[in-house]
Structure 1
Amino acid sequence: MNEWLTTFADRWTDIVDSSLQHITLSLIALFWAILIAVPLGILLTRYRKLAGLVMGIVSVLQTIPSLALLGFLIPVFGIGSVPAILAMVAYALLPILRNTYTGILDVDAPLLEAGRGMGMTRSQQLRMVELPLARPMIFAGIRTATVMTIGVATLASFIGAGGLGDLILRGISMVDTGVILAGAIPAAVLAILFDLLLAWVDRMVTPKGLRIRKEVN
């Protein structure tokens, strides 16, 4: 235990630098995944015949091993952060896309009928009825994608993109458990912290009445 603490103390600056790289890679990937998956999920609720095909394609991306996907991207994009971010985006798409699609479809039909009765257009219904009601489901998908992305980001070091995976690889090559933990523990902590942060944001943006009802249930 003392050896591990000594390793953490000696490599503190490396851990901080690698953590910042890890966070940057993860946030960029999440930004693009949300930007792609949420509008696509909304679009699929309007063209449901395409939903099965698109969901199937995105699901296939999830079945490709992370290292293999990185290997496929290297000949096209080279090494560095670009192929790493593309791979993370590919893995983050499914939970956000599926939850956006399901959340909007689960909106009660009578509420949509009431909106139409009030003269709302489709875009107004989406903005004022469907998205607010589907938001908890969409947030749940984003939380799942966040944890997955932070985990996949540890593999970015295999193609020179940096992050906490550098410390893990260094520890493996040195057969040093302390160095491995110096990369693995901060990665796990980051995943937990980001999940808790998103849960807090979700709670804060939930109207007070719905929040109280959810806590009572």
Structure 2
Amino acid sequence: MTTTVDKGFTTESGSRRAERARLLVQPAVVVVVVAAVVAWALLRDNDAIEAQNLNAARLLEATWQHLLITVAVAVIVVGVAVPLGAVLTRSWARPVAPVFLTIANIGQAAPALGVIVLFFLWTQWDGFWVAVLPIAFYSLLPVLRNTIVGINSVDPALIDAGRGIGMSGRAVLFRIELPLAVPLILAGLRTSLVLAVGTATLAFFVNGGGLGELIDTGYKLNRVPVLVTGAILAVGLALLIDWLGAVMERVFGPRGLA
């Protein structure tokens, strides 16, 4: 029995150490790789087309546009999915919860490019918001589903205890149910953000900017350095967003679940 307990403790400790090591190593590796690729792109002997796309100002502009799209998507997803998910866990709204989950599932099941192009054709707009809104719809499901599952997974005894000390239904939701659902909500948000970063490379189809412009230019004009640099920056941004989501899960999750 002693051996079994020792093994369990060692496994748990090793798992925690591995997670901490990953949180330290992942951003460092990403920064080193991205810095090396950007330095290579800027310092190599570029032709006129490559020089037009591979300069510090252009790379910063494309990365900033990509980051803005991701942040805007995150704000919309959290602002819509968390309140909607909380409402759909109330007893009077539960019968319609499958309808909203089905709509969100359709948004994610459909090809991302198709969602963006259909929204463009429907509105006849282009630019930043024509990229952000369809991407937000595409990224909605993980946060909505995890909010519902997280709240529904709260121990009913805790809810009864809250009501027993005189809490209103709203107080129980905000002081007991939502705080305990935070780990699942953050896990869903982490997934949504990674989806948003990847899908944002398609924003250039509707003049939304982002790193997709570099990738498209490099592909169409057969400029491999431009293509590689845009792709590495997009991958690096996705990995950093994933790392940030992992950090948020550790920082904002209940201490007892860490």
User: Fold conserved (TM > 0.5)?
Assistant: yes
Please give the secondary structure, in 2, of the residue aligned with 1:79.
Answer: coil
Q: Percent identity?
A: 37
Q: Using the alignment, how far apart are the partners of 1:206 and 1:69 within structure 2? A: 33
The 8 Å contact of residues 211 and 230 in structure 2, kept in 1 or not, is answered as: yes
Matches within 5 A, 1:106-125: 106-125=153-172
The 8 Å contact of residues 77 and 136 in structure 2, kept in 1 or not, is answered as: yes
Matches within 5 A, 1:133-152: 133-152=180-199
Question: Residue 117 of structure 1: CA displacement?
Answer: 0.7
Which residue of 171, 174, 184 maps to 1:127?
Answer: 174
Q: Are residues 1:92 and 2:139 paired?
A: yes
Counterpart for residue 105 of structure 2: 59
Q: Using the alignment, how far apart are the partners of 2:42 and 2:160 within structure 1? A: 59
Q: Which runs of 4+ in 1 moved over 3 A?
A: 2-6
Considering only CA atoms, is the larger Rg found in Structure 1 or Structure 2?
Answer: 2
Question: Residue 191 of structure 1: CA displacement?
Answer: 1.0
Counterpart for residue 41 of structure 2: 7
Q: Which amino acid aligns with 2:108?
A: Q
The 8 Å contact of residues 182 and 252 in structure 2, kept in 1 or not, is answered as: no
Which residue of 89, 94, 103 maps to 1:45?
Answer: 89
Q: Which amino acid aligns with 1:142?
A: L
Using the TM superposition, name which of 137-146 and 24-33 deviates more: 24-33
Q: What TM-score results when the alignment is normalised by the length of structure 2? A: 0.77
Matches within 5 A, 1:186-201: 186-201=233-248
The 8 Å contact of residues 37 and 229 in structure 2, kept in 1 or not, is answered as: no
Classify 1:207/1:105 alpha carbon distance in 2 versus 1 (closer, same or farther; 3 Å).
closer
Instruction: Structure 2: state its 5+ residue gaps.
Output: 1-35, 44-50
The 8 Å contact of residues 8 and 178 in structure 1, kept in 2 or not, is answered as: no
Question: Residue 174 of structure 1: CA displacement?
Answer: 1.2
Q: Which amino acid aligns with 2:147?
A: T
Q: Using the alignment, how far apart are the partners of 1:90 and 1:127 within structure 2? A: 25
Counterpart for residue 126 of structure 2: 79
Q: Using the alignment, how far apart are the partners of 1:171 and 1:97 within structure 2? A: 37
Q: Using the alignment, how far apart are the partners of 1:111 and 1:3 within structure 2? A: 52
Question: Residue 70 of structure 1: CA displacement?
Answer: 1.6
Aligned residues: 210
Q: What TM-score results when the alignment is normalised by the length of structure 1? A: 0.91
Q: Using the alignment, how far apart are the partners of 2:75 and 2:203 within structure 1? A: 17
Which residue of 18, 22, 28 maps to 2:72?
Answer: 28
Using the TM superposition, name which of 170-179 and 113-122 deviates more: 170-179
Q: Using the alignment, how far apart are the partners of 1:124 and 1:3 within structure 2? A: 51
Classify 1:60/1:189 alpha carbon distance in 2 versus 1 (closer, same or farther; 3 Å).
same
Classify 1:146/1:3 alpha carbon distance in 2 versus 1 (closer, same or farther; 3 Å).
closer
The 8 Å contact of residues 67 and 155 in structure 1, kept in 2 or not, is answered as: yes
Counterpart for residue 11 of structure 2: none
Question: Residue 97 of structure 1: CA displacement?
Answer: 0.2
Question: Residue 65 of structure 1: CA displacement?
Answer: 1.3
The 8 Å contact of residues 92 and 148 in structure 1, kept in 2 or not, is answered as: yes
Please give the secondary structure, in 2, of the residue aligned with 1:120.
Answer: coil
Question: Residue 176 of structure 1: CA displacement?
Answer: 2.0
